[in-house]
């Protein structure tokens, strides 16, 4: 019998999400009759210990009996149990300095680490993630910021709502002004933004309509990379070439800054990819954007004014383009930046349920039969005290 443990989230600030709900635990044990699930008690989880007990799930502080341990965020090194298989977001594959000791300890304790982020389909797209809710909450925070900045309406922050349904109901109380919104990106996060935009019946327009026309209702344009990047030498757009050689491309987003009120940034970005615009561009009189929901949240990244990431409780700071300084939010002469890096935590229950559904549907069978699973093989970062072949590039990171 395989014993799976749901670990308590111990990294501070405490994350309220969980990999499986009580009903999903029951579902797993019904589907896989040789599996038992044990849950570590937690005072912080969005689903109470009592709900797991009511569903007949065993609770135990001690998870030594477990073979596989499921978490969400990084596990504090003092909590790691040797010789186990762990699944969580380790945030080590980009050599993040703050998690170097974590990966070193995983190797020292002979832990098999399967990172959710590295579970991918054959085409390279990710199997699991919280991107949908990052997009939903990020877009909501953008609209909340606009209402506060111009004293037009008040929306309850998502983290103060009981669930997604209550957050959506907030919009029944207000009338959206005729904003022009630019959504950038085409992955899970962007599609989370799209979900909210379409639920609110905000009208979609083409890039040309966005640039040429004025509207008396709120509108949005959905821009993908080919809409705001172009080859330096005027060559035809080639998406594969762009991601392999981004230094050969320039941003053409400046044209949209003259017509956009709210920007929702949901792109993938790294240091080689050009920024949307410069700090100098933001000083221009025709730079119209007043609210940027930087859902991607790369500090000093695609949005150069994202000078820090923000917190769920204080999600916005003001950026003064002329002095290039951070100010208080919601002032007349600032551009307000929302840069929360853990947005799905604002709707932990809904995000957990959606994550658990994906975990059961796509991963659980592979995990329990991992010897024959390509998916699990390629997602395993560490095993038998060593980095696996695919992740040997991390050797200098942990040495």
Q: What is the pLDDT of residues 377-397, one digit of tens each?
A: 999 999 999 999 999 999 999
> In which element (H, E) is residue 25 found?
helix 22-31
Q: Are residues 46 and 15 in the same domain?
A: yes
The dihedrals phi and psi of 221, each to the nearest 5 degrees, come to -115, 135
Q: Are residues 191 and 90 in the same domain?
A: no
Give every strand in the sheet of 68-70, ordered side by side. 58-59, 35-39, 2-6, 68-70, 85-88, 112-115, 380-383, 386-387
Higher-confidence residue of 270 and 103: namely: 103
**Model confidence pLDDT, tens digit, residues 133-175:** 999 999 999 999 999 999 999 999 999 999 999 999 999 999 9
How long is the chain?
399
Domain that holds residue 394: 2-110+348-398
Question: With 90 as the cut, is the pLDDT of residue 370 above it?
Answer: no
The predicted model gives 318-342 an average pLDDT of 96
Q: Are residues 186 and 66 in the same domain?
A: no
The predicted model gives 297-301 an average pLDDT of 93
Q: Report the pLDDT value the prediction gives residue 371, as an integer from 0 to 100.
A: 86
Q: Does a structural domain hold residue 121? A: no
Q: Report the pLDDT value the prediction gives residue 13, as an integer from 0 to 100.
A: 87
Q: Are residues 153 and 67 in the same domain?
A: no
For CA atoms 292, 296, 302, 307, give the dihedral sign.
positive
Q: Are residues 373 and 259 in the same domain?
A: no
Q: Report the pLDDT value the prediction gives residue 270, as an integer from 0 to 100.
A: 86
Q: Are residues 148 and 190 in the same domain?
A: yes
Q: How confident is the model at residue 298 (pLDDT cuts 50, 70, 90)?
A: very high
Q: Are residues 57 and 162 in the same domain?
A: no
Give CA–CA dist 298/341, Å, rounded: 9
**Residue 335 in contact with residue 291, Cβ under 8 Å?**
yes
Question: With 90 as the cut, is the pLDDT of residue 130 above it?
Answer: yes
Q: Does a structural domain hold residue 393? A: yes
Between helices 348-358 and 131-149, what is the axis angle to 10°?
160
Q: Domain with 240 in it: what CATH number?
A: 3.40.50.720
């Amino acid at each position: 019998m395989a014993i799976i443990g749901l670990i308590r989230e111990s990294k501070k600030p405490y994350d309220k999400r969980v990999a499986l709900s009580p009903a999903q635990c029951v579902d797993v044990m019904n589907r896989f009759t040789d599996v038992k699930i044990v849950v570590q008690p937690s005072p912080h989880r969005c689903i109470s210990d009592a709900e797991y007990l009511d569903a007949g799930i065993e609770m135990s502080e001690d998870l030594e009996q477990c073979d596989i341990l499921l978490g969400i965020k990084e596990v504090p090194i003092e909590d790691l149990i040797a010789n186990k298989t762990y699944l969580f977001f380790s945030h080590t594959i980009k050599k993040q300095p703050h998690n170097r000791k974590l990966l070193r300890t995983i190797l020292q304790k002979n832990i098999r680490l399967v990172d959710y982020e590295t579970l991918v389909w054959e085409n390279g797209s990710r199997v699991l993630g919280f991107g949908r809710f990052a997009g939903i909450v990020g877009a909501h925070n953008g609209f909340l910021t606009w209402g506060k900045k111009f004293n037009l309406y008040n929306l309850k922050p998502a983290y103060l709502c009981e669930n997604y349904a209550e957050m959506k109901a907030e919009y029944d109380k207000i009338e959206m002004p005729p904003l022009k919104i630019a959504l950038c990106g085409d992955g899970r996060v962007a599609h989370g933004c799209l979900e909210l935009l379409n639920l609110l019946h905000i009208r979609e327009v083409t890039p040309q309509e966005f640039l040429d026309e004025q509207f008396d209702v709120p509108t949005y344009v959905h821009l993908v990379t080919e809409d705001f990047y172009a080859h330096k030498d005027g060559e035809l757009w080639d998406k594969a070439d762009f991601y392999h050689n981004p230094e050969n491309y320039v941003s053409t987003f400046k044209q949209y800054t003259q017509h956009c009120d709210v920007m929702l940034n949901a792109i993938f970005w790294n240091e080689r990819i050009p920024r949307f615009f410069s700090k100098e561009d933001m000083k221009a009189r025709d730079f119209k954007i007043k609210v940027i929901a930087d859902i991607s949240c790369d500090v000093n990244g695609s949005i150069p004014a994202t000078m820090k990431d923000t917190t769920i409780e204080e999600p916005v700071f003001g950026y003064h383009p002329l002095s290039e300084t951070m100010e208080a939010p919601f002032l007349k002469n600032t551009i307000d930046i929302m840069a929360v890096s853990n947005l799905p935590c604002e709707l932990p229950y809904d995000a957990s349920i959606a994550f658990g559904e994906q975990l059961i549907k796509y991963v659980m069978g592979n995990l329990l039969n991992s010897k024959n699973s390509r998916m699990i093989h390629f997602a395993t970062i560490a095993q038998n005290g060593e980095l696996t072949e695919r992740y040997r590039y991390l050797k200098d990171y942990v040495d």
